[in-house]
């Protein structure tokens, strides 16, 4: 399986560090020329290679780490997305609901990648957290995955496992909840045995994750 990260800001670099920690080959690209990305890519590790966007999109699995809305320009780069898996790590913070045509942000993004298998994931952690070792106080950090194509989740979960991150499948993207209230980051990690797996570590409060559509409160261990 070949991998690419499109977008090389804080999130893209944090994801590249996760790949580098386990010596997983990954291509990185952005709107900038690869020569501009190469020094930072080399500093992260020898398995991280900067390429042009066109070349990066030859990968089988592509992680979107661009600002929300720029996914449309990425999608135009290929005439067909058949056979590709796209991991949507974007967030629609501050985007008015009317600009999403009444859709969940993940569904809105997926519309641009016709033919691809789109999985929502890696988007609920800030860059500083993504960049750190996912083993926290004996627990494993958790990434939530959601997709309307449930067969697409397994290989993405396998990728996360390679980087020592555990996953929880949150069901179909179309079943997610819109965030109807302000959400607050939980500073520090919360151990939630029973909610995901014993020893799992997440970095948002269960109530906030529910508001963002990752699971319903009835699925969690309680209203904390």
178-192: per-residue pLDDT in tens? 322 233 333 233 333
Predicted confidence band of residue 138 (pLDDT cuts 50, 70, 90):
low
Task: Identify whether the C-beta of residue 4 lies closer than 8 Å to the C-beta of residue 61.
Answer: yes
Strands 26-29 vs 3-6: parallel, antiparallel or unpaired: parallel
Q: Output 142 or 217, whichever has higher pLDDT.
A: 142
Q: What's the CA gap between 41 and 46, in Å, rounded?
A: 8
Task: Name residue, tokens 């997926």.
Answer: 110
What is residue 71's predicted lDDT score, i.e. its pLDDT? 94
Residues 168-187, mean pLDDT to the nearest whole number: 37
Q: Output 205 or 35, whichever has higher pLDDT.
A: 35
Predicted confidence band of residue 83 (pLDDT cuts 50, 70, 90):
very high
pTM of the model: 0.76
- The alpha carbons of the chain give a radius of gyration, in whole angstroms, of 17
- Which residues on adjacent β-strands are paired with residue 166? 142
What is residue 48's predicted lDDT score, i.e. its pLDDT? 98
What is residue 169's predicted lDDT score, i.e. its pLDDT? 55
The 3-state DSSP class for residue 206 equals helix
Q: What's the CA gap between 95 and 65, in Å, rounded?
A: 17
For residue range 124-134, list pLDDT tens digits in order.
777 887 787 77
Task: Identify whether the C-beta of residue 202 lies closer than 8 Å to the C-beta of residue 196.
Answer: yes
Q: What's the CA gap between 72 and 51, in Å, rounded?
A: 20
The mean pLDDT of the chain is: 76
Task: Spell out the alpha helix ranges (H) of 51-182.
Answer: 53-56, 71-75, 105-110, 127-130, 153-162
Task: Name residue, tokens 């999130």.
Answer: 11
What is residue 8's predicted lDDT score, i.e. its pLDDT? 96
> CB atoms < 10 A from the CB of 223, how many?
9
Rounded alpha-carbon distances, angstroms, from residue 218 to 104, 174, 210, 221, 224: 21, 18, 9, 8, 12
């Amino acid at each position: 399986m070949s991998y690419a990260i499109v977008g090389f800001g804080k999130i893209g670099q944090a994801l590249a560090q996760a790949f580098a920690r386990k010596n997983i080959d990954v291509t990185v690209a952005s709107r900038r020329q690869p020569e501009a990305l190469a020094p930072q890519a080399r500093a992260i590790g020898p398995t991280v290679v900067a390429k042009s966007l066109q070349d990066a999109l030859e990968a089988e699995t592509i992680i979107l780490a661009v600002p929300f809305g720029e996914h449309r320009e990425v999608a135009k780069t290929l005439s067909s997305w058949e056979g590709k898996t796209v991991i949507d790590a974007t967030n629609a913070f501050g985007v008015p609901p009317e600009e999403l045509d009444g859709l969940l942000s993940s569904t809105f993004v997926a519309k641009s990648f016709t033919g691809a298998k789109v999985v929502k994931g890696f988007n609920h952690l800030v860059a500083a957290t993504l960049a750190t070792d996912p083993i926290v106080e004996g627990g494993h950090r958790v990434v939530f995955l959601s997709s309307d194509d449930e067969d697409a989740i397994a290989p993405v979960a396998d990728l996360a496992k390679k980087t020592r991150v555990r996953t929880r499948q949150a069901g179909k993207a179309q079943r997610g909840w819109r965030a109807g209230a302000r959400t607050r980051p939980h500073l520090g990690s919360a151990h939630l045995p029973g909610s995901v797996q014993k020893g799992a570590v997440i970095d948002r409060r269960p109530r906030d994750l529910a508001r963002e559509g990752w699971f319903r409160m009835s699925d969690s261990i309680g209203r904390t």
